[in-house]
Structure 1
């Protein structure tokens, strides 16, 4: 293998690893896919060092090493991107994709997201379902739907304007809790507390916490602790927004 070919394949593999980390894959999966993709494209071995905001990759072919570093910028969780990268790896292992095809596929990867008019009512319905499962009456469920839908709308608007995620969570929790307090203004529901509790469940950072625990259990302590810290800060931001809204509503 020529040096230029090794350099090109290394860039493709590190790009795949960069995308996996940016869109929410756990560290163990990133290592596995990178090593498998590298071997499928002709590299003898691929070694990765992953930190909280960067990765270092070294490829080896006939005693020649190539090391490259990439910065990781999180783009939110998107399992469609992760699945597409796994599919590229599988097709490369089967011999259907060579370096050129992998390069083209990687260049065409773009995150796909559902439109707002689908996400907002579905999030509202899911939070209202939690309220119902917790014993909330019909009015409480309707208040939960309205509050969580309003909060999700604000969250998507702030995300589109690239607000810091912690500021986003705090403002979203504030707006959601304000709307959820409708049940306390007039005696229209017997379970207003369930509406308030269920409306903010959309802000629970479950996926980052799961990834954090998975990384720490599998030995990636630095990345796991970093993800756990980020999830904790997101939770604290939500609590701050909820507390301010409850103080304004006279509930604290």
Structure 2
């Protein structure tokens, strides 16, 4: 294998690893896919070092090493993109894709998200369902669905304007909690506290916390602690928003 070919394959493998980390894959999966893809494309071995905001990848062919570093910028969770990258690895392992095909496929891969007009009502429905499961009456479920839907609109608007994620979570929690206090202002429901509790469940950073625990259990302590810290900060930002809304409304549960 020529040095130019090794360079090209190394760039493709590190791009795959970079996308996997940026869109929420756990570290163990990133290592596995990178090594499998590299070997499928002709590399003798692939070694990967992952930190909280960067990765270092080294490829080896006939005693020649190439090392490259990439910075990781998180873009949110996107499992569809991660599945697409896994499919790309499988096609390369089966011999259906070579370096040229992988390069072309990578160039076409882009994150896809559900449209806002579908996400917003589904968030309202899910939070309203949680309120029902908690024992809330019909009015409380409707208040929850309304408050969480408006909160999701705020979250999407702030995200599109590239506000800091902590600010986005705090503002979303504030708006959502303020609206969910309708049951306290008017006698519409017998369980207003359940509406307040259920409407902000959309802000629970469950996926980052699961990834953090998985990384730490599997030995990726640095990445796991970093993800745990990020999830904890998001939770704290939500708590600050909720507390400010309750102080403003004069409500103390």
Query: Which TM-score applies when normalising by structure 1?
Result: 1.00
Q: CA RMSD in A?
A: 0.4
Q: Match of 2:67, SS?
A: strand
The residue that corresponds to 1:19 in the other structure is 19
* Corresponding residue number in structure 2 for 1:212: 212
State the match for 1:119 in structure 2: 119
Provide the residue aligned with 1:79 in structure 2: 79
Deviations 1:11-33 (A, max 9, x none): 00000000000000000000000
Task: Give distance in 1, aligned partners of 2:123 and 2:205.
Answer: 14
Cα displacement (A) at 1:194: 0.2
Please give the secondary structure, in 2, of the residue aligned with 1:85: helix
Provide the rounded CA distance (Å) in 1 between the counterparts of 2:67 and 2:111. 28
Partner of 2:223: 223
- The within-5 A match list for 1:1-252 is 1-252=1-252
Per-residue deviation, residues 99-121 of structure 1 (Å, max 9, x unmatched): 00000111111100011000000
Measure the CA separation in 1 of the matches of 2:168 and 2:116.
17
Q: Within 1, Cα distance between the matches of 2:126 and 2:63?
A: 55
Cα distance in 1 between the residues matched to 2:196 and 2:169: 16
Q: Distance in 2 between matches of 1:124 and 1:78?
A: 21
Q: Structure 1, unaligned stretches of length 5 or more?
A: none
C-alpha separation in 2, matches of 1:206 and 1:188? 31
Unmatched runs of 5 consecutive residues or more in structure 2: none
State the distance in 2 between where 1:188 and 1:30 align. Answer: 50
Q: Displacement, 1:187?
A: 1.2
After the TM superposition, which parts of structure 1 deviate over 3 Å for at least 4 consecutive aligned residues? none
CA distance in 1 between partners of 2:160 and 2:233 (Å): 21
Shift of 1:188: 1.0
How far residue 71 of structure 1 moved from its aligned partner, in angstroms, is: 0.1
In 2, distance between residues paired with 1:109 and 1:158?
Answer: 25
When the two structures are aligned, how many residues end up with a matched partner? Answer: 252
Partner secondary structure for residue 219 of structure 2: coil
Equivalent residue of 1:187, what SS? coil
Return the alpha-carbon distance in structure 1 between the equivalents of residues 129 and 251 of structure 2: 24
Look up the SS of the partner of 1:11 in the other structure. helix
Per the alignment, in what secondary structure is the counterpart of residue 58 of structure 1?
strand
